[in-house]
Structure 1
Amino acid sequence: MNLPYDDELGIHLQDDEVMRREPWDFKHMTQRPLLLHYHPMVIYRRRVLKQTDTVLALYLLSDQFDAQVKRRDFDFYDPLTTGDSSLSAAAQCIIAAEVRRDEDAMRYFYESLYADVANLHSNTSDGVHLASAGGVWMSIVGGFGGLRDSGGRTPSISPRLPRSWSGLTYRLNVHGSLIKVTVRQDGVSLSRLSGNPVELSVEGRVRTV
C-alpha cells in the first residue's frame, strides 16, 4: 500500500492527486449523501471524502506513525469528510480519541451508536448497518479503551477515557488467554480469567498477567 507524505504540509496524502483537486464547497452543501445528488465526476474532481481511509490507516498501522503526524492528518482530513459512509465514524472516533480531540471523539462515537437507532442515514429500513455496529465496539475498545495490536507483537493499551465516564471493561483473547481489562479514571487493571500468563503493554510499560 502506498501512502504518500507531503513534507511541506506535514501530512499523509489520501492519494497522489488530492491536493490538485478543487476544494469542495462545504458551506453550500445542502444535499447528502453526495453520490445520490451529484454525478461521480463532479465529486471525484474535488477535494472531498466519503470516508476516512487515511485516518483508518493511522489506526490499523498505528505503530508506524507518531502522535504529531496523527494529529495533523486528523485535523486536515476531518473537515473534508462527509461521513456519508457509516463506516467512517468509527475510525474518526478512534483517532480523535487518541489525539485528544475529545469532543470529536464523542460525536463520532454517538454517530456510530445511533446509526440505526435514530436512522441517521435515512436508510435503516433497507437493513441495519452491521459494520457500523461493529464500529461501536471498535470505538469503545480501540478508541476510549486504547487497545492496539501491532502486527502480532505485544498488545498495547493507552486509554483515552471520556471525562464523563467512570470507566469501561472489555475482554481480550491474547494467545489463547482470556484477559479482562478494566479502565477507570485513575488507571488500568488487568486480570487473567483463563489460560497461561501473557504480556501486555500498558501506557508503555510491559506487564505480565
Structure 2
Amino acid sequence: MINEIYFNNFPSLESERLILRKLELTDAAEVQLIRSDEKVMIYMDSERQMTIQHSENFISNKLKMYEERTGIFWAIIEKSTNKFMGDFAFFKIDNKNSRAEIGYTLKPEFWGNGFMKEAMLNVFNFGFSDLKLHSLEANINPQNDNSRAILTKMGFQKEAYFRENYYYNGDYLDSEIYSLLKTDYQKSKK
C-alpha cells in the first residue's frame, strides 16, 4: 500500500539544479511547445498538442488524476533560470500493488546534460522512500533508443516485448515494458 498522505498536499521536490513542482494550467503554453515538437513526440505514440487548449485539457486530466490519487505530474523547472524544461509523472498508480508507471518529456535544448537523470533520481527516491512504491514501470516504443538507454542506466530491467499491442495513427505498434524494483534501485545506489 502506498503512503497516500502525498495526495493531501502536492509533493514538490528539489535537487541541485531542478525544482519539480505541480504541473498547472498556467504551464499550458510550455507543455504545448514540448508536446507539439516532433523531436520530442516522435516515439510518444500519442497525438501532438498543436493548440494551447489541447494542452490545457491534457493538464486538466492530469490534475484530475492527482485528485483521484492515480497520478502525480510534475513540471521540471531549471532552478538557476526558472525555465520550464519538461514534465515527469507517476501515473496508473496501483495502490494495492504499490506500483506506478512513469512518463517524462524534456525540451531538446536540455538533452544530453544529465537533467533527466537528475529528475529521475529525485522522483524515484521520493517514490520508493516516501510514497512507498514497490516498483515502477515504463512502456516505450522499441525504436526509442534514448529512452531505453536512460531506463537501463537507472537500473530498469526489460520485462516484456509486446508485438502490435498498441493501435495509433492507423498502425499497430510494438511496445517494450521495463520495470524497476525498489530493492534493485536501493542496491544500485550503494
Of structures 1 and 2, the one with the larger relative CO (CA 8 A, separation 6+) is: 2
Q: What is the TM-score normalised by the length of structure 1? A: 0.27
TM-score by length of 2: 0.29
Query: Which structure: larger Rg?
Result: 1
